[in-house]
Amino acid sequence: MSPKDISRRKFIKNLGGGVVGAGVAIQTLSAKTRKESKPPSKSDSAVALTFTVNKKPITLLVEPESTLADVLRNDLKLTGTKVVCNHGECGACTVLLDGRAVYSCHMLALDAQGKSVTTIEGLMDGEKLHPVQEAFVEHDGLQCGFCTPGQVMAAEAILIKNPKPGKEEIIEGMSGNLCRCAAYPNILKSAVAAAEKLNKS
Amino acid sequence: MQFSYIQPTSIEEVFKLGSAAPLYAGGTDLIGLMKDDIIKTDKVINIKKLKGLDKIEDKGNKGIEIGPLVKIADLIENETIQEKCPLLVQTAKEIASPQLRNMGTVGGNICQRPRCWYYRGDFDCIRKGGDTCYAVGGENKYHCIIGGGPCFIVHPSDLAVALLALDAKIEITSENGQKTVPVNDFFILPEDDETKENILEPGEIVTKIILPEQAKGFKTTYIKFKERSSWDFAVVSVAAVLKTDGNMIKNGKLAFGGVAPHPWMEAEINQKLTGLNTDEASVDAFTSSLFHNAEPMEKNEYKVILARNLVKRIIDNLA
Ligand SMILES: Cc1cc2nc3c(=O)[nH]c(=O)nc-3n(C[C@@H](O)[C@@H](O)[C@H](O)COP(=O)(O)OP(=O)(O)OC[C@H]3O[C@@H](n4cnc5c(N)ncnc54)[C@H](O)[C@@H]3O)c2cc1C
Ligand code: SF4
Ligand code: FES
Ligand code: FES
């Protein structure tokens, strides 16, 4: 193919790296996610994974190439964790690994061997919402809600590290979570309110 | 992607496995490459369980040794680095997003593959063994302005730029032994080999990053120009290590990211810094001489001006 045959369309379709705006990246990459989801049958190559998910010890067989998000969603049916870009670019799949925020779509499930994973489902206390979740409800920290589990987990990670974060620290800590609805002002308000809530209780 | 996951616990085991499989550290780059079928492999060698490679050790006047498996987030939190090498902390904070900094390692950061969108897309370009560089005559806004040909990537690592300005060294271990090379000799240009970005041969592992003891009295900073405030790779970045005296720069170093296929430092530029007066006219004369030898592509001449203005900003701030 000669350089001039590259139409703009083709160009955008093939764009993997994150140099253009998030909107474009998310739109193109979600097609990839669909292509990659596979039936849950296990082949001979499956390996045992033992880890803790939401405080419960779990052992299961996983394919080495499964991402942590695949295993959480497809095997453990913890579908609160969302996969949007599947490329470590948007934060929708954020979970806590030993208390730190990570992108579950962009790491292998086997990397969680022996570790502790917390998903959005793990924040609830029975039917009672976690203070961070409450704050998002009270301050309308969402529009379509698709990025919300990731936003909540990112906020929780900030509070685990520092129960009294400043606003700058919150902005910085949430910077790996994109929101396609651009609900950013209320997301920030919710995260700030969550910090205040935790410090009151 | 489909592969087996091998988890050696000693470096000798890695050597026994042979050199055919990619090393997998944090995986933040490698997983993307595998998902996009740019790297196809039937096994990955997870090196995260290798003993002793995830430490930061202060060796006094021998400098600081950073293990390649140190996470970017841990580098930022490390007290020795905070105290003795704030430039590295400032640079590391500019990398990717909080989540990726919790996952990605220092070794993986300097060994990551380029972000050229043709390379990351379905194009069999020169870097993938083809015979065409699609950036020439294509979308080359983010490509290099100097040191390019036949491939025109920029090196994406932020840390590498700071490490270059800090005179760091890289220790490489293979079955045949160990060698230590300055950062400057670690990275290569496409004219030397257009299929890789550094001297690593299959079977060689980065086992240490060595920061020499930093001389006292230098001011340092890292400026990264990116197009949005969330995570992004540098359009142009500059790491500066400068010693000032009144309104004069005594000496110093400037290293550039986003301009060349490897982190870029020019002896000529650093020589001109020595004794540079910080009045506006002198600084303007200095900055407008920068990258006079650049060969921008069709859509990236703006990077020359950007690099000059970033240097001006640095001198205004530090001196
Ligand atoms: C969305 C996104 C944004 C990003 N933004 C930035 C940014 O702003 N700045 C930046 O600098 N980077 C950025 N990155 C790149 C990011 O992947 C690196 O910063 C990260 O540090 C790589 O480390 P890793 O351990 O995950 O590497 P891996 O993916 O594990 O490895 C990367 C490469 O290095 C090789 N390797 C790893 N360790 C060694 C070793 N010890 N010896 C020899 N070879 C080794 C691997 O084989 C592989 O080829 C970004 C990545 C993503 C996905
Ligand atoms: S700049 Fe390099 S990586 Fe990009 S298309 Fe040209 S040859 Fe390929
Ligand atoms: S789904 Fe976007 S970062 Fe994982
Ligand atoms: S993506 Fe819709 S609320 Fe964030």
Domain with CATH 1.10.150.120 in chain A: 124-200
How much is the ipTM here? 0.96
User: pLDDT digit string (tens) for B128-147?
Assistant: 999 999 999 999 999 999 99
Q: Do A16 and B28 touch (CB under 8 A)?
A: no
| Ligand 3 lined by A70 (C-beta under 6 Å) | no
B18 confidence band (pLDDT: 50, 70, 90): confident
The mean pLDDT of chain B is 96
Tell me, what's the pLDDT at A8? 33
pLDDT at B227 over 70: yes
Residue numbers in chain A where pLDDT is lower than 50:
1-40
| Residue B214 vs residues A26, B63, B164, B294: alpha-carbon distances, Å | 43, 8, 13, 31
Using the predicted structure, report yes or no on whether residue B254 has a pLDDT greater than 90: yes
**Neighbour-count burial for A156-174, b at 16+ CB within 10 Å, e otherwise:** bbbbebeeebeeeebbebb
Which atom of ligand 2 lies nearest, measured to the CA of B150?
A: 7
Q: For ligand 4, say whether the CB of A187 is within 6 Å of any of its atoms.
A: no
Please report, for chain B, the start and end positions of each structural domain, with discontinuous segments joined by +: 1-51, 56-112+148-211, 219-318
Closest residue on chain A to B6 (Cα): A64
Q: Is B263 in the pocket of ligand 1 (CB under 6 A)?
A: no
* Domain B1-51 class in CATH: alpha beta
pLDDT number for residue A42: 64
- Give the ligand at the shortest distance from the Cα of B115: 2
Instruction: Please give all residues whose beta carbon lies within 6 A of any atom in ligand 2, as ranges.
Output: B 114, 116, 118-119, 125-127, 133-135, 143, 151-153
Average of pLDDT values for B192-212?
Answer: 97
Q: What is the DSSP letter of A71?
A: I
Cα pseudo-dihedral A156, A157, A163, A167, rounded to 10:
-90
ω before B150 within 30° of 0 (cis)?
Answer: yes
CA B22 to chain centre: 19
Looking at domain A47-122, its CATH class is: alpha beta
Closest ligand by atom to B129 CA: 2
Please list, in sequence order, all residues whose beta carbon lies within 8 angstroms of the beta carbon of residue B12, skipping any fewer than 6 positions away: none
CATH-assigned architecture of domain B56-112+148-211: 2-Layer Sandwich (3.30)
Q: Give the chain B residue nearest A35 (alpha carbons).
A: B35
pLDDT at B198 over 60: yes
- Residue B75 above 70 pLDDT? yes
Reported as half-sphere exposure (CB side, CA atoms, 13 A), residue B268 has a value of 8
Q: Is A86 in the pocket of ligand 3 (CB under 6 A)?
A: yes
- Give this prediction's pTM: 0.92
Q: What is the pLDDT of residue A36?
A: 45
pLDDT value, residue A44 = 75
Residue B42 at interface with chain A, using a CB cutoff of 8 Å: no
B97 and A CB contact within 8 Å? yes
Work out the minimum CA distance from B255 to partner chain A, whole angstroms: 22
Residue type, B119: Y
Mutate to test the interface with B, among A36, A97, A111 (most CBs of B within 10 A): A111
| B132: closest CA of chain A, how far (Å) | 8
- Please name the member of B24, B98, B142 whose beta carbon is closest to the beta carbon of A19: B142
Ligand in closest contact with the CA of B297: 2
CA distance B45 to chain A (A): 11
Best CATH choice for the domain B219-318 from the list 3.30.390.50, 3.40.190.10, 2.40.50.140, 1.10.150.50: 3.30.390.50
Cβ-Cβ contacts under 8 Å, B27 against chain A: 106-108, 111
Strands (E), chain A: 47-53, 56-62, 94-97, 100-103, 116-118
**Structure-token pair, residue B156:** 């994406």
- B98 vs A35, which has greater pLDDT? B98
A30 lines ligand 4 (CB under 6 A): no
Binned at pLDDT 50, 70 and 90, residue B1 comes out as confident
What is the C-alpha to C-alpha distance for residues B170 and A40, in angstroms, rounded to an integer? 43
Give the homologous superfamily in CATH for domain A124-200.
[2Fe-2S]-binding domain (1.10.150.120)
How near does any CA of chain B get to the CA of A97, in Å?
9
